[in-house]
Amino acid sequence: MDLTKLTKQYIGGEWRDGATGKQLVVTNPFNNDEIGSFSIASKQDIDEAYEAAQAAQPAWEKMTAHARRGVFEKAAEIVTRRHDEIADLIIQEVGGTALKAAFEIGLVVEAIKDAATTAFKIHGSIIPSPVPDTENFVYRKALGVVGIISPFNFPFFLGLKPVVAALSTGNGVVLKPHEETPITGGTIMADIFEEAGLPPGLFNVTVTEIPEIGDYFLEHPVPRAHVFTGSAPVGRHVAEVCARNFKKVILELGGNNVFIVREDADIDYAVESAVFSRFTHQGQICMSANKVLVHSAVAREFREKFVKKVSTLKTGDPADPATIIGPLINQREVQNLQTRIDAALANGATALFRGETVGNVLGPVVLDSVTMTDDVAQEELFGPVIVFMEFESDDQAIEIANSTNYGLSGALHTRDLALGMSIAKRINTGMIHINDSTIADEPLVPFGGERHSGMGRLSGQATIDELTTQQWISVNHGQARYPY
Protein backbone atom coordinates (compact mmCIF):
# COMPACT_ATOMS: atom_id res chain seq x y z
CA MET A 1 0.00 0.00 0.00
CA ASP A 2 1.32 3.42 -0.99
CA LEU A 3 1.18 5.38 2.26
CA THR A 4 2.90 8.31 0.56
CA LYS A 5 -0.25 8.73 -1.51
CA LEU A 6 -2.64 8.04 1.36
CA THR A 7 -1.06 10.71 3.59
CA LYS A 8 -2.19 13.53 1.32
CA GLN A 9 -5.38 15.50 0.87
CA TYR A 10 -7.75 14.35 -1.87
CA ILE A 11 -9.37 17.44 -3.40
CA GLY A 12 -10.93 17.80 -6.83
CA GLY A 13 -9.62 14.40 -7.89
CA GLU A 14 -6.02 15.31 -7.03
CA TRP A 15 -3.69 14.06 -4.28
CA ARG A 16 -1.84 16.95 -2.72
CA ASP A 17 -0.44 18.35 0.52
CA GLY A 18 -2.49 20.66 2.70
CA ALA A 19 -1.68 24.34 2.34
CA THR A 20 -0.82 24.96 5.99
CA GLY A 21 2.47 23.09 6.01
CA LYS A 22 1.67 21.99 9.58
CA GLN A 23 2.22 18.29 10.17
CA LEU A 24 -0.16 15.72 11.63
CA VAL A 25 1.72 12.58 12.61
CA VAL A 26 -0.32 9.36 12.64
CA THR A 27 0.89 6.69 15.06
CA ASN A 28 0.11 3.10 15.95
CA PRO A 29 -1.79 3.19 19.28
CA PHE A 30 -0.25 -0.09 20.42
CA ASN A 31 3.47 0.61 19.95
CA ASN A 32 3.45 4.34 19.04
CA ASP A 33 5.32 3.67 15.78
CA GLU A 34 4.84 6.39 13.19
CA ILE A 35 2.59 5.32 10.32
CA GLY A 36 2.70 8.49 8.27
CA SER A 37 2.50 12.27 8.32
CA PHE A 38 0.01 14.69 6.74
CA SER A 39 0.43 18.33 5.84
CA ILE A 40 -2.95 19.43 7.17
CA ALA A 41 -5.63 21.27 5.22
CA SER A 42 -6.30 24.99 5.50
CA LYS A 43 -9.57 26.87 5.16
CA GLN A 44 -8.64 27.48 1.53
CA ASP A 45 -8.30 23.73 1.00
CA ILE A 46 -11.77 23.27 2.47
CA ASP A 47 -13.09 25.95 0.13
CA GLU A 48 -11.66 24.11 -2.85
CA ALA A 49 -12.97 20.74 -1.68
CA TYR A 50 -16.53 22.01 -1.25
CA GLU A 51 -16.37 23.90 -4.54
CA ALA A 52 -15.15 20.75 -6.33
CA ALA A 53 -18.02 18.73 -4.90
CA GLN A 54 -20.50 21.44 -5.84
CA ALA A 55 -19.21 21.56 -9.41
CA ALA A 56 -19.27 17.78 -9.90
CA GLN A 57 -22.60 17.04 -8.19
CA PRO A 58 -25.16 18.11 -10.86
CA ALA A 59 -23.74 15.76 -13.51
CA TRP A 60 -23.64 12.89 -11.01
CA GLU A 61 -27.27 13.43 -10.02
CA LYS A 62 -28.29 13.38 -13.69
CA MET A 63 -26.55 10.05 -14.31
CA THR A 64 -28.84 7.05 -14.58
CA ALA A 65 -29.24 4.77 -11.61
CA HIS A 66 -27.67 2.01 -13.70
CA ALA A 67 -24.53 4.08 -14.36
CA ARG A 68 -24.13 5.02 -10.71
CA ARG A 69 -24.64 1.41 -9.66
CA GLY A 70 -21.57 0.37 -11.63
CA VAL A 71 -19.29 2.61 -9.53
CA PHE A 72 -20.52 1.08 -6.27
CA GLU A 73 -20.29 -2.47 -7.57
CA LYS A 74 -16.70 -1.83 -8.60
CA ALA A 75 -15.91 -0.30 -5.19
CA ALA A 76 -17.27 -3.37 -3.41
CA GLU A 77 -15.07 -5.58 -5.57
CA ILE A 78 -12.02 -3.45 -4.74
CA VAL A 79 -12.62 -3.62 -0.99
CA THR A 80 -13.04 -7.39 -1.19
CA ARG A 81 -9.85 -7.77 -3.24
CA ARG A 82 -7.86 -5.48 -0.94
CA HIS A 83 -9.24 -7.02 2.26
CA ASP A 84 -5.89 -8.00 3.74
CA GLU A 85 -4.12 -4.67 3.24
CA ILE A 86 -7.13 -2.74 4.59
CA ALA A 87 -7.29 -5.07 7.59
CA ASP A 88 -3.61 -4.43 8.25
CA LEU A 89 -4.27 -0.67 8.18
CA ILE A 90 -7.11 -1.03 10.69
CA ILE A 91 -4.82 -3.01 12.98
CA GLN A 92 -2.00 -0.47 12.68
CA GLU A 93 -3.87 2.83 12.74
CA VAL A 94 -6.97 2.03 14.80
CA GLY A 95 -5.58 -0.65 17.11
CA GLY A 96 -8.33 -2.98 15.98
CA THR A 97 -7.85 -6.72 16.33
CA ALA A 98 -7.89 -9.03 13.33
CA LEU A 99 -11.40 -10.06 14.32
CA LYS A 100 -12.56 -6.46 14.48
CA ALA A 101 -10.93 -5.60 11.16
CA ALA A 102 -12.66 -8.47 9.37
CA PHE A 103 -15.98 -7.52 10.97
CA GLU A 104 -15.61 -3.88 9.93
CA ILE A 105 -14.63 -4.67 6.36
CA GLY A 106 -17.61 -7.01 6.05
CA LEU A 107 -19.93 -4.18 7.11
CA VAL A 108 -18.31 -1.89 4.55
CA VAL A 109 -18.84 -4.33 1.68
CA GLU A 110 -22.51 -4.75 2.60
CA ALA A 111 -23.00 -0.98 2.85
CA ILE A 112 -21.49 -0.41 -0.59
CA LYS A 113 -23.55 -3.18 -2.16
CA ASP A 114 -26.72 -1.70 -0.72
CA ALA A 115 -25.74 1.77 -1.95
CA ALA A 116 -25.56 0.34 -5.46
CA THR A 117 -29.33 -0.14 -5.38
CA THR A 118 -30.38 3.07 -3.58
CA ALA A 119 -30.86 5.19 -6.68
CA PHE A 120 -33.45 2.67 -7.94
CA LYS A 121 -35.55 3.28 -4.82
CA ILE A 122 -35.82 7.06 -5.09
CA HIS A 123 -39.40 7.64 -6.21
CA GLY A 124 -41.60 10.65 -6.67
CA SER A 125 -45.39 10.76 -6.49
CA ILE A 126 -48.50 12.28 -8.05
CA ILE A 127 -50.93 13.66 -5.49
CA PRO A 128 -54.59 14.53 -6.26
CA SER A 129 -55.46 18.22 -6.26
CA PRO A 130 -58.72 19.88 -5.13
CA VAL A 131 -58.21 22.37 -7.98
CA PRO A 132 -59.86 21.32 -11.29
CA ASP A 133 -57.52 20.33 -14.15
CA THR A 134 -54.48 20.44 -11.84
CA GLU A 135 -51.89 17.73 -11.12
CA ASN A 136 -49.42 17.75 -8.25
CA PHE A 137 -46.03 16.16 -8.83
CA VAL A 138 -43.65 15.62 -5.91
CA TYR A 139 -40.05 14.95 -6.85
CA ARG A 140 -37.14 13.83 -4.69
CA LYS A 141 -33.90 15.68 -5.34
CA ALA A 142 -30.42 15.45 -3.89
CA LEU A 143 -29.56 18.00 -1.22
CA GLY A 144 -26.45 19.03 -3.16
CA VAL A 145 -23.28 18.69 -1.08
CA VAL A 146 -22.98 16.90 2.26
CA GLY A 147 -20.19 17.42 4.79
CA ILE A 148 -19.24 14.35 6.84
CA ILE A 149 -17.15 14.08 10.00
CA SER A 150 -16.12 10.53 10.89
CA PRO A 151 -14.96 9.05 14.25
CA PHE A 152 -11.85 7.11 15.28
CA ASN A 153 -13.40 3.88 16.56
CA PHE A 154 -14.82 2.26 13.40
CA PRO A 155 -13.43 4.82 10.95
CA PHE A 156 -13.58 2.74 7.79
CA PHE A 157 -17.22 1.75 8.24
CA LEU A 158 -18.57 4.81 10.08
CA GLY A 159 -16.84 7.08 7.58
CA LEU A 160 -17.82 5.13 4.50
CA LYS A 161 -21.45 4.47 5.49
CA PRO A 162 -22.58 8.13 5.30
CA VAL A 163 -20.30 8.70 2.30
CA VAL A 164 -22.01 6.02 0.20
CA ALA A 165 -25.39 7.09 1.56
CA ALA A 166 -24.80 10.65 0.33
CA LEU A 167 -23.30 9.59 -2.99
CA SER A 168 -26.02 7.03 -3.70
CA THR A 169 -28.71 9.70 -3.28
CA GLY A 170 -26.98 11.96 -5.82
CA ASN A 171 -24.98 14.25 -3.54
CA GLY A 172 -21.39 15.43 -3.60
CA VAL A 173 -19.31 14.84 -0.48
CA VAL A 174 -16.51 16.37 1.55
CA LEU A 175 -15.23 14.14 4.35
CA LYS A 176 -13.19 15.26 7.35
CA PRO A 177 -11.87 12.16 9.13
CA HIS A 178 -10.86 12.10 12.78
CA GLU A 179 -7.26 13.22 13.22
CA GLU A 180 -6.36 9.93 14.96
CA THR A 181 -7.48 7.84 11.96
CA PRO A 182 -7.24 9.91 8.77
CA ILE A 183 -6.21 7.00 6.55
CA THR A 184 -8.74 4.30 7.42
CA GLY A 185 -11.32 7.01 8.09
CA GLY A 186 -10.65 9.00 4.94
CA THR A 187 -7.97 8.64 2.32
CA ILE A 188 -8.29 4.88 1.82
CA MET A 189 -11.88 5.55 0.73
CA ALA A 190 -10.73 8.15 -1.75
CA ASP A 191 -8.25 5.65 -3.15
CA ILE A 192 -10.97 3.00 -3.50
CA PHE A 193 -13.48 5.28 -5.21
CA GLU A 194 -10.84 6.75 -7.50
CA GLU A 195 -10.04 3.23 -8.68
CA ALA A 196 -13.77 2.48 -8.98
CA GLY A 197 -14.22 5.35 -11.43
CA LEU A 198 -16.13 7.87 -9.33
CA PRO A 199 -16.12 11.22 -11.20
CA PRO A 200 -13.30 13.51 -9.99
CA GLY A 201 -14.34 16.19 -7.53
CA LEU A 202 -17.47 14.42 -6.36
CA PHE A 203 -15.78 12.98 -3.26
CA ASN A 204 -13.11 14.89 -1.36
CA VAL A 205 -11.12 14.20 1.82
CA THR A 206 -9.70 17.02 3.93
CA VAL A 207 -7.42 16.03 6.79
CA THR A 208 -7.04 18.83 9.28
CA GLU A 209 -7.38 19.84 12.94
CA ILE A 210 -9.94 21.99 14.72
CA PRO A 211 -7.35 24.51 16.04
CA GLU A 212 -6.56 25.25 12.39
CA ILE A 213 -10.08 25.60 10.97
CA GLY A 214 -12.44 26.05 13.94
CA ASP A 215 -16.05 25.60 12.79
CA TYR A 216 -15.29 26.48 9.18
CA PHE A 217 -16.03 22.96 7.91
CA LEU A 218 -19.54 23.25 9.40
CA GLU A 219 -20.19 26.91 8.61
CA HIS A 220 -19.14 26.79 4.96
CA PRO A 221 -21.99 27.97 2.71
CA VAL A 222 -21.81 25.13 0.19
CA PRO A 223 -22.92 22.03 2.15
CA ARG A 224 -26.64 21.80 2.87
CA ALA A 225 -26.30 19.02 5.44
CA HIS A 226 -23.75 17.50 7.79
CA VAL A 227 -23.42 13.98 9.12
CA PHE A 228 -21.46 13.72 12.36
CA THR A 229 -20.52 10.58 14.29
CA GLY A 230 -18.93 11.06 17.68
CA SER A 231 -19.56 12.10 21.27
CA ALA A 232 -22.72 13.74 22.57
CA PRO A 233 -20.99 16.98 23.73
CA VAL A 234 -19.39 17.55 20.33
CA GLY A 235 -22.62 16.50 18.62
CA ARG A 236 -24.47 19.21 20.55
CA HIS A 237 -22.01 21.80 19.26
CA VAL A 238 -22.31 20.51 15.69
CA ALA A 239 -26.11 20.74 15.91
CA GLU A 240 -25.95 24.30 17.27
CA VAL A 241 -23.64 25.47 14.49
CA CYS A 242 -25.75 23.80 11.82
CA ALA A 243 -28.96 25.28 13.22
CA ARG A 244 -27.49 28.79 13.13
CA ASN A 245 -26.60 28.24 9.48
CA PHE A 246 -29.92 26.59 8.49
CA LYS A 247 -28.27 23.28 7.67
CA LYS A 248 -29.73 19.84 8.16
CA VAL A 249 -27.81 17.66 10.60
CA ILE A 250 -27.71 13.91 11.18
CA LEU A 251 -26.03 12.90 14.43
CA GLU A 252 -24.92 9.40 15.45
CA LEU A 253 -23.69 9.87 18.99
CA GLY A 254 -22.82 7.82 22.06
CA GLY A 255 -24.82 5.43 24.15
CA ASN A 256 -25.23 4.06 27.65
CA ASN A 257 -26.68 0.78 26.49
CA VAL A 258 -28.18 -1.88 28.74
CA PHE A 259 -27.96 -5.64 28.36
CA ILE A 260 -30.91 -7.16 30.26
CA VAL A 261 -30.92 -10.78 31.40
CA ARG A 262 -34.30 -12.01 32.66
CA GLU A 263 -34.64 -14.98 35.01
CA ASP A 264 -35.79 -17.23 32.14
CA ALA A 265 -32.81 -16.46 29.87
CA ASP A 266 -30.38 -19.02 28.49
CA ILE A 267 -27.57 -18.00 30.87
CA ASP A 268 -24.65 -19.53 28.98
CA TYR A 269 -25.75 -17.90 25.73
CA ALA A 270 -26.46 -14.59 27.47
CA VAL A 271 -22.93 -14.58 28.92
CA GLU A 272 -21.40 -15.11 25.47
CA SER A 273 -23.57 -12.38 23.99
CA ALA A 274 -22.88 -9.93 26.81
CA VAL A 275 -19.11 -10.39 26.59
CA PHE A 276 -19.24 -9.76 22.85
CA SER A 277 -21.49 -6.75 23.41
CA ARG A 278 -18.99 -5.10 25.76
CA PHE A 279 -15.48 -6.11 24.78
CA THR A 280 -15.53 -6.10 20.98
CA HIS A 281 -12.96 -3.50 19.88
CA GLN A 282 -12.11 -2.81 23.51
CA GLY A 283 -15.61 -1.44 24.10
CA GLN A 284 -14.94 1.49 21.75
CA ILE A 285 -18.28 1.13 19.99
CA CYS A 286 -21.27 3.41 20.50
CA MET A 287 -23.52 0.33 20.69
CA SER A 288 -21.42 -1.49 23.30
CA ALA A 289 -23.22 -2.63 26.44
CA ASN A 290 -22.38 -0.31 29.31
CA LYS A 291 -24.53 -1.99 31.96
CA VAL A 292 -25.49 -5.63 32.36
CA LEU A 293 -28.79 -5.83 34.24
CA VAL A 294 -29.41 -9.33 35.62
CA HIS A 295 -32.43 -10.63 37.51
CA SER A 296 -31.48 -11.40 41.10
CA ALA A 297 -32.68 -15.01 40.74
CA VAL A 298 -29.91 -15.80 38.26
CA ALA A 299 -27.41 -13.06 39.18
CA ARG A 300 -24.95 -15.29 41.03
CA GLU A 301 -24.74 -17.84 38.22
CA PHE A 302 -24.46 -15.16 35.56
CA ARG A 303 -21.86 -13.18 37.51
CA GLU A 304 -19.60 -16.20 38.01
CA LYS A 305 -19.78 -17.32 34.39
CA PHE A 306 -19.38 -13.79 33.06
CA VAL A 307 -16.25 -13.07 35.11
CA LYS A 308 -14.79 -16.45 34.19
CA LYS A 309 -15.30 -15.70 30.49
CA VAL A 310 -13.85 -12.20 30.80
CA SER A 311 -10.76 -13.55 32.56
CA THR A 312 -9.92 -15.64 29.47
CA LEU A 313 -9.89 -12.71 27.02
CA LYS A 314 -6.41 -12.24 25.61
CA THR A 315 -5.15 -8.66 25.75
CA GLY A 316 -2.21 -7.06 23.97
CA ASP A 317 -0.94 -6.70 20.42
CA PRO A 318 -3.84 -6.40 17.96
CA ALA A 319 -1.63 -7.90 15.26
CA ASP A 320 -1.77 -11.21 17.15
CA PRO A 321 -4.79 -13.09 15.75
CA ALA A 322 -5.58 -14.44 19.23
CA THR A 323 -5.93 -10.98 20.78
CA ILE A 324 -9.45 -9.91 21.75
CA ILE A 325 -8.67 -6.68 23.61
CA GLY A 326 -6.12 -4.39 22.00
CA PRO A 327 -5.20 -0.77 22.75
CA LEU A 328 -7.45 2.20 23.27
CA ILE A 329 -6.89 4.93 20.71
CA ASN A 330 -4.55 6.98 22.92
CA GLN A 331 -3.21 7.44 26.45
CA ARG A 332 -5.68 10.22 27.19
CA GLU A 333 -8.59 7.78 26.86
CA VAL A 334 -6.80 5.25 29.10
CA GLN A 335 -6.23 7.80 31.84
CA ASN A 336 -9.79 9.09 31.61
CA LEU A 337 -11.24 5.63 32.10
CA GLN A 338 -8.88 4.78 34.96
CA THR A 339 -9.89 7.98 36.73
CA ARG A 340 -13.58 7.11 36.37
CA ILE A 341 -13.01 3.53 37.56
CA ASP A 342 -11.11 4.73 40.62
CA ALA A 343 -13.86 7.24 41.41
CA ALA A 344 -16.50 4.50 41.29
CA LEU A 345 -14.43 2.26 43.56
CA ALA A 346 -13.91 5.12 46.00
CA ASN A 347 -17.68 5.61 46.04
CA GLY A 348 -18.35 2.03 47.11
CA ALA A 349 -18.26 -0.01 43.91
CA THR A 350 -16.32 -3.27 43.80
CA ALA A 351 -14.22 -4.73 41.02
CA LEU A 352 -15.25 -8.30 40.22
CA PHE A 353 -12.36 -8.32 37.77
CA ARG A 354 -9.70 -5.76 36.88
CA GLY A 355 -7.17 -6.59 34.25
CA GLU A 356 -3.67 -5.18 33.98
CA THR A 357 -3.01 -1.96 32.08
CA VAL A 358 0.08 -1.83 29.88
CA GLY A 359 0.61 1.25 27.74
CA ASN A 360 -2.63 1.95 25.89
CA VAL A 361 -3.97 -1.55 26.55
CA LEU A 362 -6.49 -1.32 29.38
CA GLY A 363 -7.35 -4.75 30.73
CA PRO A 364 -11.05 -5.62 31.11
CA VAL A 365 -12.85 -4.30 34.17
CA VAL A 366 -16.12 -5.58 35.65
CA LEU A 367 -17.66 -3.29 38.29
CA ASP A 368 -20.35 -4.32 40.79
CA SER A 369 -22.26 -2.51 43.57
CA VAL A 370 -22.54 0.63 41.45
CA THR A 371 -25.26 3.17 42.19
CA MET A 372 -27.27 4.94 39.50
CA THR A 373 -25.78 8.26 40.60
CA ASP A 374 -22.25 7.09 39.75
CA ASP A 375 -20.68 8.55 36.62
CA VAL A 376 -19.94 5.05 35.29
CA ALA A 377 -23.67 4.26 35.40
CA GLN A 378 -24.84 7.47 33.76
CA GLU A 379 -22.24 8.29 31.10
CA GLU A 380 -20.82 6.32 28.18
CA LEU A 381 -17.86 4.05 28.95
CA PHE A 382 -15.77 4.02 25.79
CA GLY A 383 -13.47 1.17 26.74
CA PRO A 384 -13.36 -2.38 28.17
CA VAL A 385 -15.27 -1.51 31.35
CA ILE A 386 -18.73 -2.80 32.23
CA VAL A 387 -21.11 -2.23 35.12
CA PHE A 388 -23.00 -5.13 36.68
CA MET A 389 -26.40 -4.43 38.31
CA GLU A 390 -29.26 -6.58 39.63
CA PHE A 391 -33.01 -6.08 39.34
CA GLU A 392 -36.07 -7.68 40.94
CA SER A 393 -38.76 -7.02 38.33
CA ASP A 394 -39.16 -6.13 34.67
CA ASP A 395 -40.45 -2.69 35.66
CA GLN A 396 -37.28 -2.04 37.65
CA ALA A 397 -35.08 -3.12 34.71
CA ILE A 398 -36.98 -0.79 32.41
CA GLU A 399 -36.64 2.06 34.90
CA ILE A 400 -32.86 1.55 35.08
CA ALA A 401 -32.63 1.32 31.28
CA ASN A 402 -34.48 4.62 30.87
CA SER A 403 -32.64 6.47 33.64
CA THR A 404 -29.91 8.06 31.51
CA ASN A 405 -30.00 10.73 28.80
CA TYR A 406 -28.94 8.23 26.15
CA GLY A 407 -31.02 5.97 23.95
CA LEU A 408 -29.03 4.24 21.23
CA SER A 409 -29.03 0.45 21.50
CA GLY A 410 -29.74 -2.37 23.92
CA ALA A 411 -30.35 -6.10 24.29
CA LEU A 412 -32.80 -8.29 26.19
CA HIS A 413 -32.42 -12.03 26.80
CA THR A 414 -35.53 -14.06 27.58
CA ARG A 415 -37.27 -17.22 26.43
CA ASP A 416 -40.64 -15.44 26.48
CA LEU A 417 -40.50 -13.64 23.14
CA ALA A 418 -43.93 -12.01 23.42
CA LEU A 419 -43.04 -10.55 26.82
CA GLY A 420 -39.62 -9.59 25.46
CA MET A 421 -41.24 -7.57 22.67
CA SER A 422 -43.48 -5.84 25.23
CA ILE A 423 -40.49 -4.91 27.40
CA ALA A 424 -38.43 -3.76 24.42
CA LYS A 425 -41.13 -1.34 23.31
CA ARG A 426 -41.03 0.35 26.72
CA ILE A 427 -37.30 1.08 26.55
CA ASN A 428 -36.49 4.52 25.14
CA THR A 429 -33.90 3.55 22.58
CA GLY A 430 -33.52 3.71 18.83
CA MET A 431 -32.62 0.03 18.61
CA ILE A 432 -32.92 -3.01 20.84
CA HIS A 433 -32.23 -6.67 20.11
CA ILE A 434 -33.91 -9.66 21.72
CA ASN A 435 -31.66 -12.66 22.38
CA ASP A 436 -28.73 -11.05 20.61
CA SER A 437 -25.92 -8.54 21.05
CA THR A 438 -26.30 -4.79 21.51
CA ILE A 439 -24.00 -4.40 18.48
CA ALA A 440 -25.83 -4.61 15.15
CA ASP A 441 -26.05 -2.64 11.91
CA GLU A 442 -27.88 -3.81 8.80
CA PRO A 443 -28.06 -2.04 5.42
CA LEU A 444 -31.87 -1.88 5.15
CA VAL A 445 -32.79 -1.04 8.76
CA PRO A 446 -32.90 2.59 10.01
CA PHE A 447 -29.96 3.14 12.36
CA GLY A 448 -29.95 5.89 14.98
CA GLY A 449 -30.67 6.90 18.53
CA GLU A 450 -32.90 8.99 20.74
CA ARG A 451 -32.16 11.92 23.03
CA HIS A 452 -28.41 12.44 23.57
CA SER A 453 -27.66 9.47 21.31
CA GLY A 454 -28.43 11.42 18.18
CA MET A 455 -30.82 12.82 15.59
CA GLY A 456 -31.95 11.31 12.32
CA ARG A 457 -31.46 7.87 10.80
CA LEU A 458 -29.42 6.27 8.01
CA SER A 459 -29.77 2.97 6.10
CA GLY A 460 -32.58 1.78 3.87
CA GLN A 461 -35.44 4.20 3.21
CA ALA A 462 -34.14 6.41 6.01
CA THR A 463 -31.12 7.29 3.87
CA ILE A 464 -33.38 8.56 1.11
CA ASP A 465 -35.56 10.48 3.56
CA GLU A 466 -32.57 12.16 5.22
CA LEU A 467 -30.32 12.91 2.24
CA THR A 468 -32.83 14.06 -0.35
CA THR A 469 -35.32 16.90 -0.32
CA GLN A 470 -38.79 17.10 -1.89
CA GLN A 471 -40.02 19.55 -4.51
CA TRP A 472 -43.70 20.11 -5.37
CA ILE A 473 -44.43 21.01 -8.98
CA SER A 474 -48.06 21.59 -9.91
CA VAL A 475 -49.42 21.72 -13.46
CA ASN A 476 -52.66 23.50 -14.28
CA HIS A 477 -53.96 22.08 -17.56
CA GLY A 478 -56.68 24.70 -17.78
CA GLN A 479 -56.92 28.18 -16.33
CA ALA A 480 -57.33 29.11 -12.70
CA ARG A 481 -60.05 31.56 -11.60
CA TYR A 482 -58.79 34.32 -9.31
CA PRO A 483 -60.91 36.51 -7.01
CA TYR A 484 -59.58 39.77 -8.51
Q: Hey, which residues are catalytic here?
A: 252, 286
Q: Which one-letter amino acid corresponds to residue 268?
A: D
Contact 366, 306 (CB under 8 A): yes
The CA distance from 36 to 187, in Å, is 12
The CA distance from 265 to 256, in Å, is 22
Give the burial string for 105-127 (b: 16+ CB within 10 Å, else e).
bebbbbbbbbbbebbeebeeeee
The CA distance from 352 to 304, in Å, is 9
φ, ψ of residue 227 in degrees (nearest 5)? -115, 120
The CA distance from 260 to 244, in Å, is 40
Sheet strands (E) in 306-374: 350-354, 357-358, 361-362, 365-368
Instruction: Return the CA Rg of the chain.
Output: 24
Q: How far apart are the first and last CA of the chain?
A: 72
Contact 207, 18 (CB under 8 A): yes
Sign, Cα dihedral of 458, 463, 468, 473: negative
Q: How far is CA 480 from the centre of its chain?
A: 51
Contact 12, 200 (CB under 8 A): yes
φ, ψ of residue 90 in degrees (nearest 5)? -60, -40
